[in-house]
Amino acid sequence: MSKPIVWTVAGSDSGGGAGAQADLKVINLLGAHACSVITALTAQNTVGTSRLEWVTPDMFSAQLDALKADLPPAAIKLGMLGTAEAVSIICGFLQASRPPFTVCDPVLISSSGTFLLEAVAWPLLTEQLFPMVDLITPNIPEAEHLLGMEITTPADIEAAAKKTLALGTKEVLIKGGHGAHDMALSSDYWSNGTDHVWLSSPRIDSKNSHGTGCVLSSAIASARAMGCRPLESIVLGKAYLNQGLRQAPNLGNGFGPLAFNPWEKSEQDLPMISQKAEEPGIRATCPAIPSGNRQG
């Protein structure tokens, strides 16, 4: 095949800024072929969501089976799953299929505070799904809810990462955009249990922030499918997110979408990398997306 295939398993965003629509754009723009498994239909725009309907379990399974039979993935991005039944279905699928790479963006709470995963599914996520995926990318509120701990300092974030890895996943990226310990920087923490780094970028003050988690995780999945190493894929994902925030087109009357443009190598979008949160760090090297369809 001329391109690696990346699946997004996520809800539909009729406004085009998040969910499956955002993922499809990112995956294609970064050079992979995007496929989608839709978990929910939403009626939403930049102002809010007025209606949500979950896809039936049979339809959810049928989408997975159809893609598996003809378009097997080099990487899978998991977004909003919503129900315990959907979590159970995807767990069974991953156990049977063992895709090369899976990243889970655990969508629990909307920006308006609405819970998007039913409470009975939370233990399924941590006990059954996390051990089957390669990377978890929670933001701070999601990590607090999933781990049952308060996260206010860099030390808390590092402790939360260790606690997440103990659940069985291979890597964790705790996103620091909601962190209050340094309002000048957006600092994320990545660890695989052996190696760990802080990736920091200046905060971009913008209302056009809808879909940031979707863009980051789908960019990471695309980079891994294209052959990037683990930390390289994190750097590329964060740089692509920064690019999208910086170039956002200011659409709609509420929280607008990021820009969806081809990847451009710009030093200003690359994060600073350090071993400790308080260190200034050094500028990350811009990762080169390998040619062909190597799978990382």
Report if residue 296 sits inside a domain: no
Q: What share of the chain is helix, strand, coil (3-state, %, to 5)?
A: 35, 20, 45
User: Is residue 295 in a domain?
Assistant: no
- The CA distance from 101 to 6, in Å, is 10
Report if residue 200 sits inside a domain: yes
User: What are 212-251's pLDDT values in tens digits?
Assistant: 999 999 999 999 999 999 999 999 999 999 999 999 999 9
Predicted confidence (pLDDT) per residue in 153-208, tens digit: 999 999 999 999 999 999 999 998 655 555 688 899 999 999 999 999 999 888 99
92 CB neighbour count, 10 Å cutoff: 14
Residue 75 is assigned to a structural domain of this protein? yes
CATH code, domain carrying 53: 3.40.1190.20
CA 188 – CA 200 distance, rounded (Å): 6
Hey, what are 189's tokens? 């923490």
- Sign (positive/negative) of CA torsion 147, 127, 6, 74? positive
In a domain, residue 153? The reply is yes
Q: What is the model's pTM? A: 0.95
Burial of 96 (0-12, 13-18, 19+ CB in 10 A): exposed
Tell me the average pLDDT of the chain.
92
Look at residue 149 and tell me if it is in a domain: yes
Number of domains forming the structure of the chain? 1
Structural domain includes residue 291: no
- pLDDT digit string, tens, across residues 249-288: 999 999 999 999 998 888 999 999 999 998 989 999 988 8
Range of the structural domain that residue 198 is part of: 5-283
Q: Look at residue 290 and tell me if it is in a domain.
A: no
pLDDT over 70 percentage in the chain: 94
Give the pLDDT of residue 292: 46
